[in-house]
Amino acid sequence: MQITLPAPAQAWLFGPDAKQRIRMRRTLVASGVYWLAALGQLWAAEIGLADPARALVLVVFLTPGLFGFYLVMRLGLGLRLADPALTMQQMVFAIVAMAAAYVINPPLRGMLLMLVALVLVFAAFTLSPKASRALGWLAVTALGLVMLAMALHAPQTFEPTIEAIHFAFAAVVLPVISMLAGDLSAMRARLKEQKAELQYALARIHKLATRDDLTGLVNRRHMEELAEMEQRRAIRSGSPPCLCLVDIDHFKRINDHHGHAAGDEVLRLFARHAAASIRETDVLARWGGEEFLVLLPDTRPDEARMGFERLRRLLARDEAWGEQAHMRVSFSAGLTAGRNGEPLRDALARADHALYEAKASGRDRLVEK
């Protein structure tokens, strides 16, 4: 049975940030383990398995694990660090605590070696390969120093031969576990990297499938899909969109006199200014060559005309073209309002006919049909 705390209690315990909540839950689980260890230590002292004074010292030493890490994270003091969860710090603390428990609980010291191994296994899921291996050698060093010190200080309790066997076990098993944990951590890092690469590749494929490579605008194929979707929405709402076909005037002269690279730059500049002049809800696509299509949902023709007049005035200014002012161009446009239930091709044909009239009438103008 899973117990779920009320939302206010969760916010009070874990804070508002989702990632921080996951870290806080893990830290509270670790704190719970420290509490059990402290209670177990006091119980061991009660039944004579541990010295009461030393047991109390260990319980005091466990205080940072009982409260400290949780408070540091709850107050957000670790958010400035590379690892806000303080994973390495918590694991180092756990190893030092178990080394201290090894001294205080001679009858249970074999069990403590297994707990150290367990900490190293957890490292595989949180730490980097280098940090996992470093943690393993730290464990061997800490236990080795404790075993040597106690074998010299209290050989009657920590019999040197037994301690040598314990150290041999730790020196062989813990580095192996640490090495395997590091390999598993490396696999986890590679999988994370591969996932990021796959997401980037999918985003790139989607962009190539839906965007024009030169201008960055929506391409013709994707525009057709978006227009069909808008047409279905318009049937439900009863508010058809406007369509406007735009053609750059005398664009062939740019390519002939200045080269195709200059023509590409003109297309990019025109697309940038046109995209900036429409609303966020409108869609601008490169329809082909120097021709563009604008889809304007929920827009009356008079509103659309005002937007294109603003674009016309902008393009007439030299500062809009910068170093390409000598290649300044105008545009002709054919505007039409969609009609309820009509096929998209009919509205496009009407806009195309209006564009033809605009060009035949002298260009640099918008004709509405």
pLDDT at residue 38 in the model: 76
Tokens found for residue 32: 């719970």
pLDDT truncated to tens, each residue of the chain (369 aa)? 444 666 676 667 777 777 777 777 777 777 777 777 778 778 877 887 777 887 787 777 777 776 788 788 778 777 777 788 788 888 888 888 888 888 877 777 777 777 788 778 777 777 888 888 888 889 899 989 999 998 898 888 888 998 899 889 888 888 888 888 888 878 888 888 888 888 888 877 777 778 898 999 999 999 998 888 888 888 888 788 899 999 999 998 888 888 989 899 999 999 999 998 888 889 999 998 999 999 999 888 888 888 888 888 888 888 888 877 788 889 999 999 988 778 888 989 999 999 999 999 999 999 998
CB proximity list for 323: less than 8 A, separation 6 or greater: none
Return the ∠ at Cα 39 (arms to 34 and 40), rounded to 5°: 95
CB 301 within 8 A of CB 368: yes
**Active-site amino acid positions:** 290
Q: What is the pLDDT of residue 5?
A: 61
Q: Are 315 and 274 in contact (CB under 8 A)?
A: no
CB 37, CB 105: distance < 8 Å: no
Beta pairing partners, 333:
246, 366
User: What pLDDT shows up at residue 4?
Assistant: 61
User: Quick one: how many helices (H) and strands (E) in the chain?
Assistant: 14, 5
